[in-house]
Amino acid sequence: MIKAIAIDDEPPALEVIKVYAEKVPFVQLKACFIRPSEALTYIRHNTIDLAFIDISMPDMSGIELATKLKDSCQIVFTTAYSEYALKGFELAATDYLLKPICFPRFLDACTRTQEKVKSKDTVNNPKQRPSLFIKDGHNWIRIDCDDILYIKAEDNYVSIIESNRRTLSRITLSKIHEQLPASTFTRVHKSYIVSLAHVNKLEKNEVFIQGVKIPLSKVGRDELYKKLMKPAP
Domains of the chain are 2-124 (3.40.50.2300), 131-228 (2.40.50.1020)
| Confidence (pLDDT) at 83 | 62
CA–CA separation, 135 and 160 (whole Å):
11
Find, among 162, 154, 111, 101, the residue nearest to 135 by Cα.
111
| Confidence (pLDDT) at 84 | 56
What are the residues facing 144 on neighbouring strands? Answer: 131
Q: Say which DSSP state 106 is in.
A: H
| Confidence (pLDDT) at 136 | 79
| Confidence (pLDDT) at 86 | 55
| Confidence (pLDDT) at 231 | 47
Under 8 Å between Cβ of 75 and 93:
yes
Q: Say which DSSP state 82 is in.
A: G
pLDDT in tens, the chain (233 residues): 899 999 999 999 999 999 999 999 899 999 999 999 999 999 988 999 999 999 888 888 888 898 888 778 899 999 887 665 555 555 668 888 888 999 999 998 998 888 888 766 544 554 557 888 888 777 778 888 989 999 999 988 999 999 888 999 998 999 899 889 888 999 999 999 999 999 988 888 999 998 899 999 999 988 888 888 764 44
| Confidence (pLDDT) at 232 | 41
CA–CA separation, 61 and 224 (whole Å):
56
The pTM score is 0.54
Find, among 148, 179, 185, 155, the residue nearest to 169 by Cα.
155
Under 8 Å between Cβ of 13 and 78:
yes
Residue 89 sits at φ, ψ, to 5 deg, of: -75, -25
Q: What would you report as the CA-atom Rg of the chain, rounded to the nearest whole angstrom?
A: 22
| Confidence (pLDDT) at 62 | 87
